[in-house]
Structure 1
């Protein structure tokens, strides 16, 4: 273990002894600093130290060709300070080497998890491939900063994406980092860079409610459709408030016609739910039962398989009814609106629609102008009675003062 005072002169003359591949010289003027000289001519500064278990370790400081001796001493000081604070430089570097790039993490860890646990995994795959990997793919997870995320958000808006689309990218990225950081304890990931970044305000949420006269017009055209199953599907959606695919994939095994109960095995939330079938829905099922030749309630009469979609037939009927903007999903909104306007509580509607959060139901809690006017008149009548006035007109004419 040769010792030497490392100075400019020594560095210029130091060489590897004959018969050796390398030699390490330990500085006599600075504890732990050493210079490795190789037969190839390469030279590297190291720090020798003992880790928390008392084992002797060598941590690389820098190549002698890239730093001066004073700079090497500064690096040595900094690393010794870290060690004094309980930070093992070799362990720290080992952790750094384990941190995956975003692209590797998405491919090897997140997507297998998404496919196994999320019905919407294909949406995740599309968002990751088309938006997140182009923005972060080559970066290691611990290199992605809040500023990087804000840049992605702004780039999406600049490219013309709607606020809702940009928000979906942020929500997915936030979820992925929460898994990497909190749940899976991925090496080197100590925080979520999306923390504190707010979602963009969205003003594009569609809330279309089909009025009574529109329902009549629409159903009249639906009944004339060449798709003989469409009228049953539309009626069932209107009467139950179910989602399109919940109805299209419903089987006779899922319904109990005696108890009037429908078990929906796969919902948007991923959990099965049970929906009581009202008299109208039961009547639809009885009509279909006589002509169904499939295990699927609304199966295609020709193939016996469930419809992938009924858009063409639906689109034709809604255009003929003069309602080209009405979507099948709006039938679900319409039922919610009717229930609220007829005095049912928002919690009852939440249960019937299968919402996990009340705020989702509140979007559908649309009160008609007639309902609001009735409520207002009730308030006026109550005020008139309180003040001892004979009629609503007394209040309207300004006699409150």
Structure 2
């Protein structure tokens, strides 16, 4: 019979003499009738069970996944915008085309293996991300007792080896890139490398986030002696809004930090604040030419010629952060110090840069010998 919402409700009298209702309503009468037909067949074959008769059916994967994405919490907090958009893209492009019409309890390990066997063979990282997302969603379904077991059992499928190795820029290459960039984005390039900041952090830095320290020298002149930049926010691309928006917190708890600026970069900071930054405390340091957040497309229109001038066509802007991390590791920074400077939540991420700095061991050995005089 139709309900007030114009949907159809199905019910029947079971072998126990009691009235049993469908766990949900139906958009069309034919669907309600089909459900009743299935119950009649269960009764005729002796498969009907009074205990399970009124139990809700396992939902369709698409419906469950959409609700999961809307309500997912990590450490008690909603998903970050960038994470949410990434998951949405993975679902729409790589997971839902295969599983959206299946009920959760109909997805088998064989289904998952068959899907994974043909999934993004030329994109191992994205393949691992898609599999990990499916596994996490099905783990939530298992914890909610919607499935008897998690069907995602492909060993090692949630991780991928990097196919390419990032080659950091040399100090000389970095200098060439900075010189080739427009003056208003030279400090951004310096911050990306020497302070190892992320793009989303850079485009949200405001005048109030930069602290410069001055001292009076012996001649009574003020000298710039130290400086730092406070990272408490970031800007992220919001796919729903189709624009960059401010995120009130950094990428993670570890991402909230104060990064000290290398002394040789300080003059560029003072110049940039004087010549390329608005006077308001909230003025962005690196806005787009027309105002507002700088986009990667605009930045790369300047960065591509600059990296070409340095003869590093392989270098991505994000690789400047990698460069800064390796340079910091080369100074002898500990894992904990690297982790704090880079805003990493795990030690394993910082370890990559310490390993990259091991190639300087010969230079370190030569430097040690200089402590006791010249060697033959």
Worse-matched range after superposition: 271-280 or 169-178: 271-280
Q: Distance in 2 between matches of 1:94 and 1:64?
A: 11
1:188 match: secondary structure: coil
Q: 1:367 aligns with which of 354, 357, 370?
A: 357
1:326 match: secondary structure: coil
Bigger RCO (CA 8 Å, 6+ sep): 2
Q: Distance in 1 between matches of 2:332 and 2:254?
A: 29
Q: TM-score, normalised on structure 2?
A: 0.69
- Name 1:297's counterpart in structure 2: 285
Q: 1:101 aligns with which of 60, 73, 76?
A: 60
Q: Distance in 2 between matches of 1:251 and 1:63?
A: 64
Q: Distance in 2 between matches of 1:344 and 1:176?
A: 39
Q: CA deviation at 1:367?
A: 2.4
CA contact (8 A) 1:255 1:263 kept: no
CA contact (8 A) 1:48 1:58 kept: no
CA contact (8 A) 2:13 2:19 kept: no
1:61–1:238 Cα change, 3 Å: closer
1:275 match: secondary structure: strand
CA contact (8 A) 1:156 1:166 kept: yes
Q: Distance in 2 between matches of 1:64 and 1:101?
A: 19
- Name 1:223's counterpart in structure 2: 179
- The structure with more radius of gyration: 1
Q: Distance in 2 between matches of 1:138 and 1:321?
A: 52
1:167 maps to 2:115: no
Q: TM-score, normalised on structure 1?
A: 0.65
- Name 2:105's counterpart in structure 1: 142
Q: CA deviation at 1:280?
A: 4.1
Per-residue CA distance 1:158-204 (angstroms, 9 max, x = gap): xx43221210101111222233333xx2x623432225632254241
CA contact (8 A) 2:231 2:258 kept: yes
What are the ranges of 5 or more consecutive residues in structure 2 without an aligned counterpart? 1-11, 22-34, 214-226, 235-249, 369-374
1:108–1:45 Cα change, 3 Å: closer
Alignment of 1:309-328 (within 5 A): 309=296, 310-328=299-317
CA contact (8 A) 2:105 2:148 kept: yes
- Name 1:307's counterpart in structure 2: 294
Q: Distance in 2 between matches of 1:243 and 1:63?
A: 56
1:208 maps to 2:172: no
1:92 maps to 2:44: no
Q: 2:94 aligns with which of 127, 131, 146?
A: 131
Q: Distance in 1 between matches of 2:260 and 2:326?
A: 18
Q: Distance in 1 between matches of 2:94 and 2:294?
A: 32
1:93–1:370 Cα change, 3 Å: same
2:205 match: secondary structure: coil
Per-residue CA distance 1:2-36 (angstroms, 9 max, x = gap): xxxxxxxxxxxxxxxxxxxxxxxxxxxxxxxxxxx
- Name 2:195's counterpart in structure 1: 240
Provide the aligned C-alpha RMSD in A. 3.7
Q: Distance in 2 between matches of 1:175 and 1:63?
A: 32
Per-residue CA distance 1:128-161 (angstroms, 9 max, x = gap): 111110110000112112222211111115xx43
CA contact (8 A) 1:102 1:141 kept: yes
Q: Distance in 2 between matches of 1:325 and 1:113?
A: 37
CA contact (8 A) 2:255 2:343 kept: no
Q: CA deviation at 1:272?
A: 5.2
- Name 1:12's counterpart in structure 2: none
Q: Distance in 2 between matches of 1:61 and 1:244?
A: 57
- Name 1:86's counterpart in structure 2: none
1:47–1:62 Cα change, 3 Å: farther
Per-residue CA distance 1:57-85 (angstroms, 9 max, x = gap): 78999989979xxx95xx54x76xxxxxx
Q: 2:81 aligns with which of 119, 133, 138?
A: 119
1:324–1:152 Cα change, 3 Å: same
CA contact (8 A) 1:260 1:282 kept: no
Instruction: Give the length in aligned residue pairs.
Output: 305
1:131–1:346 Cα change, 3 Å: same
1:205–1:111 Cα change, 3 Å: farther
Per-residue CA distance 1:252-285 (angstroms, 9 max, x = gap): 2333445735133233337650223223454433
CA contact (8 A) 2:254 2:343 kept: no
Q: CA deviation at 1:372?
A: 4.7
